[in-house]
Amino acid sequence: MNVTYDDIGQIFKEKLYQPKVNILPCGNHNLNRNLVFKVYTSTAQWIIKFYYKPLKRTREINALSFFKQAHLEIIDQGILDNGIEWLVYNFVEGQLLEQCYESISEANLNTLFFDMGREMARLHNVELFDYFGDWVPQKQSALEHYKDFIINDTERLILNNLHHNQDQNHILNAAIDLLRNEYKHIRQLNVGRLCHRDFDGRNIIVSFSNETYKLDTILDFEKCVVFNEYFDIIGLYRKYFLNAPQLIKPFKMGYEDILKIDSSFNEELKFNLLRLGIDLSSWAKYVSNDFYVETINYLSDLLSKIDQIEQYYL
């Protein structure tokens, strides 16, 4: 993606009246997807994000128009001459949960995951929709079509895997067979809810004071659409719940402080966990071989635990 420091300097000069700024790249620029920079002067700090695909900025803006957070504010937005969209946020102090997760005590993690559950439920409960899909009408569908859509989309992901990931056929084939057998457990979607779709330690800022980490801010709503809200909970299984199932209980308590989880979550759990792995493996290799290996390892670990799935019920 063609973005220069001169482009950033010009944006801050013309839009935020800052004639001279310092620029520091953040995140994974080697992936050449979204580009994020910290921009600062001696008196102020910002984050500017450039989007590598259309609709991502629209998702972020629309989601945050519903979901207000005390510490996150959109300051300005625009489009470069080459068509690349950008957004400026205020800079939020703190650490990413992913960076400090291993050093946090079990008691502190319980509190954090209670708060994460509560914050996720707050997002899911902020507005109810009579459709599922993206923020433009041509990408929205009636709720009664959800099950057909998700089966067709899952078959698309399976096909991508079978075409491009032959090296891991023994794991993928086992996962695909189990996944297809779970189609009968896909829930009927009765209401659409905001779904972050990347609610993860990479996008959660925590603050540290009095020897305790506290949830501060949720970042990166570029994937946020109206969908099956269970997908956000499922995302926590890959990195956290499958390896630390004791965190499920505090998370559920926090979530249900705002929004109840019905029995369809557990009925659909096996399908959603398998689908997550098939989804990630269908594109991971094109982004990062390390992430592809991580995804295959997730599927392998899941297959070893799938017969004891009840241990991971909410």
| pLDDT at residue 253 greater than cutoff 90 | yes
Q: Do domains 5-90 and 95-312 have the same CATH topology?
A: no
Which of 52-56, 173-177, 222-226, 249-253 is predicted least confidently? 52-56
Count the residues in the chain. 314
Which of 22-31, 83-92, 241-250, 287-296 is predicted least confidently? 22-31
pLDDT, mean of residues 211-226: 96
- Predicted pLDDT of residue 70: 67
For residue 232, give the nearest of 266, 196, 203, 205 by alpha carbon. Answer: 196
User: What is 172-234 written as a DSSP string?
Assistant: HHHHHHHHHHTGGGPPP--SEEEE-S--SGGGEEEEEETTEEEEEEE---TT-EEE-THHHHH
Q: In the beta sheet, which residues pair with residue 208?
A: 213
Q: In the beta sheet, which residues pair with residue 133?
A: 140, 226
**Token representation of residue 310:** 């009840």
Tens digits of residue pLDDT in 176-209: 999 999 999 999 999 999 999 999 999 999 999 9
Q: Are strands 85-90 and 74-79 parallel, antiparallel or unpaired?
A: antiparallel
Specify the residue for token string 């926090």.
Answer: 254
Does the 5-90 domain belong in CATH 3.30.200.20? yes
pLDDT, mean of residues 297-309: 96
Element spanning 79, H or E: strand 74-79
Report domain 95-312's class: alpha beta
Where in the chain are the domains? 5-90, 95-312
Q: Are strands 131-133 and 22-26 parallel, antiparallel or unpaired?
A: unpaired
Distance CA 73, CA 88 (A): 9
pLDDT, mean of residues 103-113: 98
pTM exceeds 0.85 = yes
